[in-house]
Amino acid sequence: MIRKIVFVIAILAAFGLGVWLTSSFLHNKAKETTTSGATVLLEQVKQVRKMVTVEGNFSELYDETNIRNFTIYLPMPSTWSFSKQATLKVTGKVLVGYDLKEIQIRIDSTNHQLILSKLPDPEIISVDHQLEYKNLEESYFNSFSPEDYTRISKNAKAVLSEKAKESGLLEKAAEQGNQMIDIMRVLVEAAGWTLLVEEESGQLLPFDSLSILD
């Protein structure tokens, strides 16, 4: 009878210990917290007068290889090469349009003329890109550093800019710019005025006589 009581007490103690351990584990787990912090530095505020007329989305594979050579002169000259290679997928959005800060608009109320001058050429406004590393290979004496990742990101961004130029986005932006000025011409003429564009030589030409923003 005593053995049975002891056996029951042992089972109850083991059960209670298990409950206590489980409760302690869950309690401690519930106390786990994750904290993060960020510091935002506002370095400069500038007025921006830019007009986006074309947007292009690109996806490219970018590969970069770096080889570092070490020469040991004792007991005899020997050169060892250590390489590192990064293969990544670059995706991004390229915005093309016009910087309007230099454009000038003059009004000749006597002759009912609206004169545009210093019209800008289309340019790449911004490149928003993301990197997805597919493969990284490095050696003990030639490994990737934080500066390498910064350089790779900069080079990948430059690749997207070149692809945007090769794809004809600047030409498409010029077409959109011409269409917008043509709309302006229609509105000006509807009011009984004339829209003129001043060339670098100082000559005034009607907008419909040439493509201004090519």
Q: pLDDT (tens digit, 0 to 9) for every residue of the chain, 214 residues total?
A: 544 444 444 554 554 545 454 555 545 544 455 566 666 666 666 666 888 889 999 999 999 898 888 777 767 778 888 888 999 999 999 999 998 888 888 999 899 988 888 888 999 999 999 999 999 998 888 888 999 999 999 999 999 999 999 999 999 999 988 888 888 888 888 989 988 888 877 777 776 654 444 4
Domain boundaries, the chain: 1-29, 46-209
Tokens (6 digits) for 11: 């089972």
Peptide bond into 75 cis (omega under 30): yes
| Cα-based distances in Å from 85 to 64, 68, 69, 143, 199 | 6, 12, 15, 9, 51
What are the φ and ψ backbone dihedral angles of 200, each rounded to 5 degrees?
Answer: -60, -30
What global pTM score does this model have? 0.69
